[in-house]
Every structure is written in C-alpha cells, then in structure tokens.
Amino acid sequence: MSDEHRNACLPLSEPHSNPWWLRAFAASIIGLLVGSVWLLARQGPRVPVYCGKSLPIWLRNYGWSSSARLHSREWNEADDAVRHMGTNCIPVLLRMIREKDSKLKLRLLSLAQKQRLIRFHFTTAAERNVEASRAFIALGDTARGAVPALARMYDEDLSANSLGAIADALAWIGPASKPAISVLLRAATNSDSKVRANALWALGEIRAEPKLCVPALVHALGDSDEWAQLSAAHALGMLGTEAQSAIPSLRELTNSPRVFNSPVMTRLQVTLEAKNALRKIDSGAVSPSSKTFPESAIPAMDWFLSPQ
C-alpha cells in the first residue's frame, strides 16, 4: 500500500480536541465535588419539600447568583414555600449557615471552573450561608425557637460569612432574639468588619436592653469601617428615645469628613442614617425597618434611600 493510501486510512485528528487524561481529570474533580455534597446531604437533617421541590432548591432564589430580587415573583414564591414548611426548615437552615468550604474544596472548584469540557453550577458555602439566613425574613418571629441554637453557634469554629449570616437571622427574627444580645455585643467587636456591622445592625432590629446596647453602639460610631458606623447609627435610631445619650456622637458623625479612599456614596449613606437616627430619637417615632434587605448583611443603597 502506498504512503498516500496508508495516510488516507488513518483517522483525522482534531487539532483542538482535549486529551483523554484532561477529560478524566475534569470528571474526577466534578465527581469529588458532587460526592462531597451528596455525603453532606445524607448526614444532615431531613429536608422538607413543598410542591415537589426541596427547601435548598427554593432557597436558591435568595442567593446572590440568582436573577431573583426582593419582591420579585420568584422571591415571593420562595417566601411562600418557606412559610408553608415553617419551623421544619430550621434544622436545615442551621446546617446551611454552618457550612464552610475547605481550602482543598475551593481549590478543586477553581480548577473545575477553568476546564471547558463539562459545564456545571456549584454553590459555595458562603452563598448557602446567605440563602439560609434570608429564609428567616419569611419565617420572622415564628423562628424564635432557633435563637438559642443561633447564639450557641457563635462559639463554634465558623467562618466570617457564617457569623454574618447568624446575625442576619437573629435580626430578622426580631425582638424574640433578645436572649442573643450578649453574643451580638461580643460579635460587635470582632476583627472582621462585616461581622461587626452585621451584629450592630441586628442589635437595632431586636430593640432591647438599651442600657447594654447604647454604649456599645455609640462606641461603634467611631469604627474604622463606615458600614459598621452606618449599622450602629441605624441601631441607635431603632432604639428611639432610649438612645438619648447618643445624640452628641450622632451629630458629630453627620459632620465628620469622609474617610480617605472610602466611596462617596457610602459616606452619604452613613450621614443619612445618622440624621435619620437623630430624628427618631428626638421624636420617639420608631417603627420596625420593614424587612430591610442587607447585601452582605448591610442594606443596599436602594433600600437605604427609600422611605422606611
């Protein structure tokens, strides 16, 4: 057989095809990730179901990667599902708030996302923390039974994302979270600025123990992080006339210069919240904050600038 005929019999190779070992490597990474998720699901509490969809599926509408937004049809449907499942949700929500991705898991995820052979969606523990905490918006006071467990979780070895999610959950449960005030005051001095800000905001939503909270909140008005300042000002306003001693510090905050390199709009939000707090403290006209929706536990600007 001539060389020409021999070459014609050989299969044509694809210049851009991926070698078999790369496909196998990608599949093994994805298999490890899927397997770890499956094991966690098997070991966890029973997952409630509504209209044929499990609770974690409904909670995806609360995630930051979801296209659903507050008050959207998808968000409202998730709220209805959570309310229907009620306190049966709590064991699963607590498990999700505790979740933390290991460095190895995050590394495998990063490698899997770089390959283009198999497309898949994986939700990080940080996003699942947020999804679980936002379910407490729908549950509200009916989730008061979760307060002791949430408070105890502060003493566990959890991530900053989990600690922030705990504070959010306590905030949305509301005044029934009063037994957790001591741990929130401790969290308000955490080295992570987001954890501090979340805890300070929650103290305002609980609206209790002003003799303990007001001194800590006034101190937080001088925090190096402007989101923490904003949360402290909000909390003082929610305490109303019980926060009279904070008036001088709030007035000073409204006149303080912008911190170097801080966003102008963030400074504006801090000033507006301080002025709003002064108005509430002077008039005593304090109302619940109508389910303000934190972005990373801090209210996003569109909710902040809207009437409360």
Look at residue 181 and tell me if it is in a domain.
no
**Domain limit, last residue, from 95, 129, 151:** 151
Look at residue 171 and tell me if it is in a domain.
no
For residue 39, what pLDDT is reported?
55
For residue 64, what pLDDT is reported?
85
Single-letter amino acid code for the residue at 82 = V
**pLDDT tens digits along 188-236:** 999 999 999 999 999 999 999 999 999 999 999 999 999 999 999 999 9
Is beta strand 294-295 parallel, antiparallel or unpaired with respect to 53-54? unpaired
pLDDT at 296 over 70: no
Please tell me whether residues 205 and 262 are part of one structural domain.
yes
Round to whole Å and give the CA distance between 35 and 28. Answer: 10
DSSP-derived 3-state class of residue 227: helix
Please tell me whether residues 194 and 123 are part of one structural domain.
no
| Number of folded domains that form the chain | 2
Look at residue 244 and tell me if it is in a domain.
yes
Question: 71 lies in which domain range?
Answer: 23-151
Mean pLDDT of 77-104: 93
Q: Give Cβ neighbours of residue 233 (< 8 Å, ≥ 6 apart).
A: 221, 250, 253, 270, 273, 274, 276, 277
Look at residue 266 and tell me if it is in a domain.
yes
Please tell me whether residues 200 and 308 are part of one structural domain.
yes
Please tell me whether residues 30 and 139 are part of one structural domain.
yes
Please tell me whether residues 33 and 135 are part of one structural domain.
yes
Look at residue 158 and tell me if it is in a domain.
no
Tell me the two tokens of residue 256. 């303080």
Query: Model confidence at 266, in pLDDT bands (50, 70, 90)?
Result: confident
Look at residue 169 and tell me if it is in a domain.
no
Please tell me whether residues 121 and 215 are part of one structural domain.
no
- Count CB-CB contacts under 10 A for residue 283: 10
Please tell me whether residues 145 and 198 are part of one structural domain.
no
pLDDT at 9 over 50: no
**Domain limit, last residue, from 91, 123, 151:** 151
Please tell me whether residues 192 and 283 are part of one structural domain.
yes
Query: Model confidence at 68, in pLDDT bands (50, 70, 90)?
Result: confident
Look at residue 17 and tell me if it is in a domain.
no
Look at residue 159 and tell me if it is in a domain.
no
DSSP-derived 3-state class of residue 284: coil
**Domain limit, last residue, from 105, 123, 151:** 151
Round to whole Å and give the CA distance between 286 and 280. Answer: 6
Percent of the chain with pLDDT over 90: 60
Please tell me whether residues 133 and 211 are part of one structural domain.
no
Please tell me whether residues 195 and 138 are part of one structural domain.
no
